[in-house]
Structure 1
Amino acid sequence: MPQYITNTTQLKCDKGTSPTPITVTSQSFMCIDGKLQATEDDKQPNTNIKPFGTCRILRSSCNPAPVKWQHTSPFEIDGKKELLDSSACPCFIGGKISVVKPAQNFVEE
């Protein structure tokens, strides 16, 4: 079962050396566990997605250059598709940005 992505969920770039949390700014009212839910508009470099350490392609700072989130939910918040733990975003430099682990806490029965 796919999980929705929320503020502070860790992202990784397969060409970067360290993960970074996503910062949700695309909407301000839909929350899960008190954290804003991420949408396809949360892709601005250095605002929503911080650098991923050192880029293995450029051999310098891994500044994200997200193109467009793929594998999003069919559901929308304010006309923007929700991000899932299976969502990924190609980087213009050549890497692939994806989710390390969703930040949600589910209670198992």
Structure 2
Amino acid sequence: MASQVSMGATLQCSFGAAPSSLVVLPKNKVLAEGPPAANIMDHIPLVNIMPFGMCSAPSNPTVAAATTAALGVLTPMPCVPATASPWTPGAPTATIANMPALDNTSKCLCNWGGAVSIVMPATTKTMIP
């Protein structure tokens, strides 16, 4: 059984150097154990998904340019998330603001090739069947 994700959940990108926190604005008017509950549309870079420290994705243009300047030595650059598509798959049995609720098994893909996953959902009791 999956857990509902809410504001303050800990996220990690496969190409990021540090964890980040999910920001959920209270626009959906649904709370989960106190903070606002998330749905799959809470994927907007620098609004919902904050940077992961340094990015080491070779397909990231800033990383590619820095790596080229360093004569081919992989050179991480500051992360700016590029999550254009919603979290998948979400919870098909529960909706928040007419969209699937975000559960802790969902992933969000970055345009540079990273996969953002939920390390800690910020809820401990709210389960989604």
TM-score computed with the length of structure 2 as normaliser: 0.77
**1:105 CA drift (Å):** 2.8
Gaps of 5+ in 2: 58-62, 64-75
Alpha-carbon distance between aligned partners in 2 of 1:26 and 1:39, rounded to the nearest angstrom: 11
| Identical columns (%) | 30
Structure 1 residues 71 and 26: alpha-carbon distance in aligned structure 2, compared to 1, 3 A threshold = farther
Query: Structure 2: which amino acid aligns with 1:72?
Result: G
Q: Please name the residue that 2:42 is paired with.
A: 42
Matches for 1:1-109 after TM superposition, within 5 Å:
1-25=1-25, 27-57=27-57, 58=63, 59-66=76-83, 67-74=85-92, 75-106=94-125
Q: Distance in 2 between matches of 1:32 and 1:26?
A: 11
CA contact (8 A) 1:26 1:42 kept: no
Structure 1 segments (4+ residues) deviating >4 Å: none
Q: Which runs of 5+ in 1 are unaligned?
A: none
Q: CA RMSD in A?
A: 1.3
Q: Which moved more, 1:65-74 or 1:44-53?
A: 65-74
- Size of the aligned set, in residue pairs, is 106
CA contact (8 A) 1:76 1:82 kept: yes
Q: Which residue identity does 2:29 align to in structure 1?
A: F
Query: In the aligned structure 2, how far is the partner of 1:26 from the partner of 1:95?
Result: 27
Is the contact made by 2:38 and 2:96 (CA closer than 8 Å) also made in structure 1? no
| TM-score where L is the length of structure 1 | 0.90
**Larger Rg over CA atoms:** 2
